[in-house]
């Protein structure tokens, strides 16, 4: 018997949760339930995060959480509960299977069967944003080696456990050589440790185009947070319906399972909603807690129900569907088919699927780190980079000369183009030509000079070499 936490959520949440739990019980799931309240009522009672500290305790104690969609009230600065739960519990992997149910649910891609594995904590979602000048704001994109290793191992281990053949990695490392470059490099390092699985890398733009056009070409796709956020919705939609997909959010300690759709308030309380998305989440939960036999029985009964044309309004189609049913009747139809297998759709077998066992991250010995120079970002209202070069050139010290100025990453000094559009946000790079290390004190000297001459410094970024290799981007056009 496994104790799980359940939240019935808002809108259609309670109906689809009741339907899902009734199917789980009928299939013999050995679960006990602790129910907690999260969402709209908790927000409106004045809790800005939508969850109470007592509920946190229950979630952390049980470690496995089945969550129905919730409504985040508009305005008023309420924090998204989903993002809070993922981050607080370190749920680093978001797993979303997107499978076509052709010919029973409309799709342009009958052969599609893709699992998107999305990194869930890092990237531009760290939420570190600043306004730096009148004209420029920034969002920090953070990618860590442990973050990359964990998600890449997860994708390969998942593929191995679920009998998948190929892992594809999407990044944009032709442009973001440090951040996406690290993700790609870690993928290439780890892939050979799973020799039975094929692996490949695509640049995300053409990869996304290929996914939208020919999803049959992919099996498991692993990617950083932002691309995964966008493309997992694209994949679910082109598979047939966002209403049919579930997702798992997996951490080292805890895991949360849900439907990918929202609380559909306009459909609430009318016995209309399709419980399939949440049921798919529940099936992943059962696999996670080692009740694969129950998961398999439910999934095959669900496929048979879809195949028999028992459809809720959102997927109902004249000529294909046999019977339009409500939420409860759909659940009863699945229950009636427990023990049956689909005939046209492929039945599933989940052998020994349990929570994936991943290698623990081991920190590598620290590299030799040399400070080579500094980027000093300044706000300056002028337009002529040569003028700025004269001004900030005076901040340089004999050991730390001004080597370059960029504006939004494009080199504008020396030898810039007058056509390059410039904002009020400039990066002034102080870097000796010889590549010899400098002392931090030299940076302080440059900043002290800047203060004395009234140059408005916004921030600095140290320029390092790790094990002798410079680890910072060049200016565009440099």
User: Which residues of the shown chain bind ligand NAD in the complex (CB under 6 A)?
Assistant: 12, 16, 69-72, 82, 243, 258, 261-264, 266-267, 273-274, 277, 314
Q: How far apart are CA 22 and CA 224, in angstroms?
A: 36
Closer to ligand NAD by Cβ: residue 118 or 261: 261
Closer to ligand NAD by Cβ: residue 69 or 475: 69
- Closest approach of Cβ 72 to ligand NAD, in Å? 4
The gap from C-alpha 453 to its chain's centroid, in whole angstroms, comes to 45
Rounded to 10 degrees, what is the CA torsion of 264, 211, 203, 416?
A: -70
Structure tokens at 215: 């999803």
- Closest approach of Cβ 263 to ligand NAD, in Å? 4
- Closest approach of Cβ 371 to ligand NAD, in Å? 45
- Closest approach of Cβ 262 to ligand NAD, in Å? 2
Angle at 211 between CA 143 and CA 185, to 5 degrees: 30
CB 331 within 8 A of CB 354: no
Nearest to 89 by CA among 252, 286, 257: 252
Closer to ligand NAD by Cβ: residue 249 or 287: 249
- Closest approach of Cβ 42 to ligand NAD, in Å? 13
Closer to ligand NAD by Cβ: residue 266 or 363: 266
Q: How far apart are CA 119 and CA 94, in angstroms?
A: 6
Q: How far apart are CA 31 and CA 24, in angstroms?
A: 9
Closer to ligand NAD by Cβ: residue 275 or 385: 275
Q: How far apart are CA 68 and CA 45, in angstroms?
A: 20
Give backbone dihedrals phi and psi of 473, rounded to 5 degrees, phi first: -80, 155
Q: How far apart are CA 258 and CA 10, in angstroms?
A: 13
User: How many other β-carbons are positioned within 10 Å of the β-carbon of residue 57?
Assistant: 11
Closer to ligand NAD by Cβ: residue 55 or 168: 55
- Closest approach of Cβ 36 to ligand NAD, in Å? 14
Closer to ligand NAD by Cβ: residue 80 or 178: 80
Alpha helix stretches (DSSP H) within 345-439: 385-393
- Closest approach of Cβ 53 to ligand NAD, in Å? 20
Alpha helix stretches (DSSP H) within 39-125: 40-44, 53-62, 81-88
Closer to ligand NAD by Cβ: residue 94 or 263: 263
Secondary structure element (H or E) that encloses residue 3, with its range: strand 2-7
Residue 417, burial from CB neighbour count under 10 angstroms (0-12, 13-18, 19+):
exposed
User: How many other β-carbons are positioned within 10 Å of the β-carbon of residue 443?
Assistant: 20
Closer to ligand NAD by Cβ: residue 315 or 402: 315
- Closest approach of Cβ 6 to ligand NAD, in Å? 14
Nearest residue to ligand NAD by CB is: 262
- Closest approach of Cβ 288 to ligand NAD, in Å? 18
């Amino acid at each position: 018997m496994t104790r799980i936490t359940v939240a019935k959520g808002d809108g259609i949440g309670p109906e689809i949760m009741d339907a899902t739990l009734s199917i789980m019980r009928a299939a013999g799931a050995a679960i006990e339930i602790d129910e907690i309240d999260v969402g709209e009522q908790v927000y409106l009672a004045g809790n800005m995060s939508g969850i109470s500290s007592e509920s946190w305790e229950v979630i952390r104690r049980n470690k496995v959480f089945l969550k129905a969609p919730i409504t985040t009230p508009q305005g008023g600065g309420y924090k998204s509960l989903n993002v809070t739960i993922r981050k607080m519990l370190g749920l680093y992997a978001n797993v979303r299977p997107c499978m076509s149910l052709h010919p029973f649910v409309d799709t342009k891609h009958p052969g599609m069967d893709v699992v998107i594995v999305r990194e869930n904590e890092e990237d531009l979602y760290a939420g570190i944003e600043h306004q730096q000048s009148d004209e420029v704001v920034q969002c920090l994109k953070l990618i860590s080696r442990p973050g990359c290793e964990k998600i890449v191992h997860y994708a390969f281990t998942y593929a191995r456990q679920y009998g998948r053949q190929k892992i594809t990695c999407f990044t944009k490392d032709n442009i973001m050589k440090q951040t996406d470059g690290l993700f790609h490099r870690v993928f290439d390092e780890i892939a050979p440790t799973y020799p039975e699985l094929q692996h490949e890398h695509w640049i995300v733009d053409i990869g996304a185009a290929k996914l939208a056009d020919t999803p049959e070409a992919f099996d498991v796709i692993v990617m950083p947070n932002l691309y995964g956020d966008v493309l997992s919705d694209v994949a679910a939609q082109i598979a047939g319906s966002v209403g049919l997909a579930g997702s798992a959010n997996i951490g080292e300690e805890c895991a949360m399972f849900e439907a990918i759709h929202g609380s559909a308030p306009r459909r609430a309380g009318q016995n209309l909603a399709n419980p399939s998305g949440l049921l798919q989440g529940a099936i992943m939960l059962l696999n996670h807690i080692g009740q694969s036999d129950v998961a398999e029985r439910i999934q095959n009964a669900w496929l048979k129900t879809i195949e028999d044309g028992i459809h809720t309004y959102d997927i109902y189609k004249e000529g294909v569907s046999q019977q339009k049913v409500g939420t409860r009747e759909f659940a009863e139809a699945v229950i009636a088919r427990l023990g049956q297998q689909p005939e046209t759709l492929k039945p599933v077998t989940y052998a020994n699927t349990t929570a994936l066992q991943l290698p623990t991250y081991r920190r590598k010995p620290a590299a030799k780190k040399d400070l080579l120079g500094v980027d000093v970002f300044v706000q300056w209202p002028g337009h002529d980079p040569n003028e700025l070069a004269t001004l900030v050139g005076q901040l340089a010290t004999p050991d730390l000369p001004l080597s370059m100025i960029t504006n939004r990453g494009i080199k504008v000094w020396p030898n810039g183009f007058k056509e390059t559009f410039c904002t009020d946000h400039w990066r002034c790079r102080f870097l000796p030509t010889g590549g010899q290390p400098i002392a931090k004190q030299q940076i302080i000297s440059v900043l002290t000079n800047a203060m004395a001459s009234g140059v408005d410094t916004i921030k600095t970024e140290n320029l390092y070499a790790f094990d002798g290799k410079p680890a910072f981007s060049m200016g565009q056009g440099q």
